[in-house]
């Protein structure tokens, strides 16, 4: 079990003493789990969570997004319990846009809920639409096959950034994409992180993807779930695809692979 120690930095996300049971406490899927992500001003963090299927990675994101409450423990975002005033958006593997709305209206949805006038929210939404490379598609309906899978995930990323540019939760968002589109989306996400400096919490099963994107990688074990490994990715903060040719990148991929195998063998 990892020891998450407080420092002088504020905690942007904090999970304390989290336990999850679905049978009244007879079996704990997650038990006494702690997880802290610090707020690094003007830098942000890119945190990747790895672990075997069913270990609770997606469940942790759901806690932070306010979509699920743990059986016990505390979930704080910016030092406050998750609620309407500090809601965090989440990008899922499944396409989550509202298909009866345009790209423009989907991206500006959070601002609509906040009561912001259409002219202003459209202007803000267009800035994000241009950032994610969807200019020219803003009046199309956000549905497949009008838009490709990669374009629909761009819509989801833009919508989440506009809703809360501080924190972005991503649950295997590129898992259903073809390899070319997936690589393009990795580069896009890296560019967004360098531009906006959000705190990104990203779940994936793809180890090379994790090493390419992350500042820090945390590995969970199952039965009951805990964080048991932390790997700091000591690559340059600003990365391009050429970093994948760096010997250190390859070393880190192999290191994470070895750690994953070791964790999978834990009882």
Give the residue among 169, 31, 10 at the shortest CA–CA distance from 92.
Answer: 169
Give me the percent of the chain exceeding a pLDDT of 70: 99
- Position 44 scores a pLDDT of 87
- Position 267 scores a pLDDT of 57
Confidence of residue 18 (pLDDT cuts 50, 70, 90): very high
- Position 25 scores a pLDDT of 83
Instruction: Classify each residue of 243-254 as buried b or exposed e, where b means 16 or more C-beta atoms within 10 Å of its C-beta.
Output: eeeeeebeebbe
Pairing of strands 167-171, 199-203: parallel
3 state SS for the chain: CCCCCCCCCCEEEEEEEEEEECCCCCCEEEEEEEEEEECCCCCCEEEEEEECCCCCHHHHHHHHHCCCCCCEEEEEECCEECCHHHCCCEECCCCCCCCCCEHHHHHCHHHHHCCCCHHHHHHHHHHHHHHCCCCCCCCCECCCCCCCHHHHHHHHHHHHHHHCCCEEEEECCCCCCCHHHHHHHHHHHHHHHHHHCCEEEEECCCHHHHHHHCCEEEEEECCCEEEEEEEECCCCCCCCHHHHHCHHHHHHHHHHHHHHHHHHCCC
- Position 225 scores a pLDDT of 92
Express each pLDDT in 62-103 by its tens digit.
Answer: 999 999 999 999 999 998 998 777 778 888 877 778 899 999
Q: Is 215's pLDDT higher than 70?
A: yes
Q: What is the mean pLDDT of residues 240-264?
A: 95
Confidence of residue 49 (pLDDT cuts 50, 70, 90): very high
**Model pTM score:** 0.91
Token pair of 70 as six digits: 């743990």
Q: What is the mean pLDDT of residues 154-165?
A: 88
Q: Is 194's pLDDT higher than 90?
A: no
The burial of 24, by beta-carbon neighbours within 10 Å (0-12 exposed, 13-18 middle, 19 or more buried), is given as: exposed
- Position 85 scores a pLDDT of 73
Q: What is the mean pLDDT of residues 151-177?
A: 89
195 vs 202, residue with greater confidence: 202
Q: What is the mean pLDDT of residues 32-57?
A: 91
- Position 4 scores a pLDDT of 77
Express each pLDDT in 219-242 by its tens digit.
Answer: 999 889 999 999 999 999 888 899
What value does the mean pLDDT of the chain take? 91
């Amino acid at each position: 079990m990892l020891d998450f120690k407080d420092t002088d930095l504020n905690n942007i996300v904090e999970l304390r003493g989290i336990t999850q049971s679905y049978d009244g406490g007879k079996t704990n899927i997650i038990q006494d789990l702690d997880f802290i992500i610090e707020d690094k001003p003007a830098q942000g963090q890119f945190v990747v969570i790895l672990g075997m299927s069913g270990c609770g990675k997606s469940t942790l994101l759901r806690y932070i997004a306010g979509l699920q409450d743990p059986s016990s423990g505390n979930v704080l975002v910016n030092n406050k319990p998750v609620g309407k005033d500090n809601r965090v958006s989440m990008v899922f593997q499944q396409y989550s846009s509202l298909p009866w709305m345009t790209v423009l209206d989907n991206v500006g949805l959070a601002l609509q809920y906040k009561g912001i006038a259409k002219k202003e929210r459209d202007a803000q939404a267009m800035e994000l639409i241009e950032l994610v490379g969807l200019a020219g598609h803003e009046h199309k309906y956000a549905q497949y096959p009008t838009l490709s899978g990669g374009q629909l995930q761009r819509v989801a990323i833009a919508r989440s950034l506009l809703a809360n540019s501080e924190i972005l939760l991503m649950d295997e968002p590129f898992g259903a994409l073809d390899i070319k589109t997936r690589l393009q989306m990795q580069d896009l996400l890296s560019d967004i992180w360098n531009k906006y400096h959000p705190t990104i919490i990203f779940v994936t099963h793809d180890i090379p993807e994790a090493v390419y994107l992350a500042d820090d990688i945390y590995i969970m074990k199952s039965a009951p779930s805990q964080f048991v490994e932390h790997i700091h990715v000591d690559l340059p903060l600003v990365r391009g695809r050429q970093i994948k040719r760096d010997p250190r990148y390859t070393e880190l991929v192999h290191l994470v692979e070895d750690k994953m195998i070791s964790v999978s063998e834990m009882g």
